[in-house]
Amino acid sequence: MDISVVVPLYNEVESLPELNAWIDRVMKAHHFSYEIWFIDDGSTDGSWKWVEEQSLISETVKGVRFRRNYGKSAALHTGFEEATGDVVITMDADLQDSPDEIPELYRMIKEEGYDLVSGWKKKRFDPLSKRLPSKLYNATASNVTGIKLHDFNCGLKAYRNEVVKSIEVYGEMHRYIPYMAKQAGFSNIGELVVKHQARKYGTTKFGLSRFIFGYLDLMSISFISRFGKRPMHLFGTLGSMMFLFGFIAVAWLGGFKIYQQFHGILVERVTQSPYFYLALTSMILGTQLFLAGFLGELVSRTSTERNHYLIDRRTKDKG
């Protein structure tokens, strides 16, 4: 099969018929073999009823329904597990992503050899209060991850099937799928300017809180990808440095005290100096950080994922 389209949705019943018809037109015009996976994230407005009915009359429409709302990441992860097409296309169900972009996304994956192609809604119809935080967020994400994309959160993306089968999307990490793909060894990531359309039905399901959570998730995934299997490298290093700094400070204070007494200089006790307590605090924090890294290593070494590596290919067996 050429293409699997994965559409996570939550209360988008008005948009689904038009979106499905639009995808059908594009696919048939370019003679693609395809399937459309509608992943219902606990809708309460009749979206699932439409998916069920459409699946009975169309071989291309397939669906999965969650018992409750789990979030977009869970919906994408489920869709990735079900997808069988050589190229997997994701798009939102609100008609803000144009299915007309699918042929070019497919071509970039198949002909130009990209592992992942992310859409870039260069001209947006969102209000200024949404565009400005989005620009700041994307600039930060690009600098932290080292992936030069202008629109990490664009729902319109294309992947080689191997990519979606090699990553696990959880929590709210759908924003950082390009970074997860890069960490899994799929570093050929491209970008395509796509058309952004104003929402036609309903209201947005995301508020400004997503920018706050987005930064927290960015810090989390950056830490896990770099130190998830070697926490001692971070906590042990910081802890050793802080302990060493505190130890040197205490030694200096003690040595200076002995020097003053040896020369008959009347001075206050070491414990009366604020620097003594700062040095002591540094040693205590350094010890705690070192122990945190040590415990993290113990947990990491007992994890079932400690030797989980993605193998690209192997030589054929002889004989």
Does residue 245 share a domain with residue 210? no
Instruction: Locate 35 and state its tokens.
Output: 């399937």
Does residue 169 share a domain with residue 111? yes
Q: What is the dihedral angle through the alpha carbons of 290, 293, 294, 297, rounded to the nearest 10 degrees? A: -170
Which helix (H) or strand (E) element contains residue 118? strand 116-120
Give the model's pLDDT for residue 18.
95
Amino acid present at 293: G
CA angle 193, 196, 198 (to 5 degrees): 175
Does residue 148 share a domain with residue 55? yes
Structure confidence at residue 319 as a pLDDT band (50, 70, 90): very low
Structure confidence at residue 318 as a pLDDT band (50, 70, 90): very low
pTM above 0.85, yes or no: no
> SS3 for 311?
coil
pLDDT single digits (tens) 197-239: 776 776 665 555 666 666 677 777 777 767 767 788 888 889 9
Does residue 238 share a domain with residue 120? no
Range of the domain at 35: 3-227
pLDDT single digits (tens) 20-50: 999 999 999 999 999 999 999 999 988 999 9
CB 47 within 8 A of CB 9: yes
Does residue 114 share a domain with residue 49? yes
Is the backbone of residue 271 left (phi > 0), alpha (psi -120 to 50) or beta?
A: alpha
Would residue 311 count as lying in a domain? no
Residues in the chain: 319
CB 285 within 8 A of CB 237: no
State the maximum Cα–Cα separation within the chain, in Å, rounded to a whole number: 99
Does residue 291 share a domain with residue 151? no
pLDDT single digits (tens) 145-200: 889 899 888 999 999 999 999 998 887 788 889 998 998 899 999 999 998 877 67
Does residue 261 share a domain with residue 209? no
Does residue 255 share a domain with residue 167? no
Distance (Å, whole) CA 94 – CA 202: 8
Does residue 168 share a domain with residue 28? yes
Which of 227, 252, 272 finishes a domain?
A: 227
Handedness of CA 172, 175, 176, 177 (dihedral sign): positive
Instruction: Locate 289 and state its tokens.
Output: 């950080």
Does residue 202 share a domain with residue 143? yes
Is the backbone of residue 264 left (phi > 0), alpha (psi -120 to 50) or beta?
A: left
The number of domains in the chain is 2
Distance (Å, whole) CA 284 – CA 278: 10
Residue 135 sits in a domain whose CATH number is 3.90.550.10
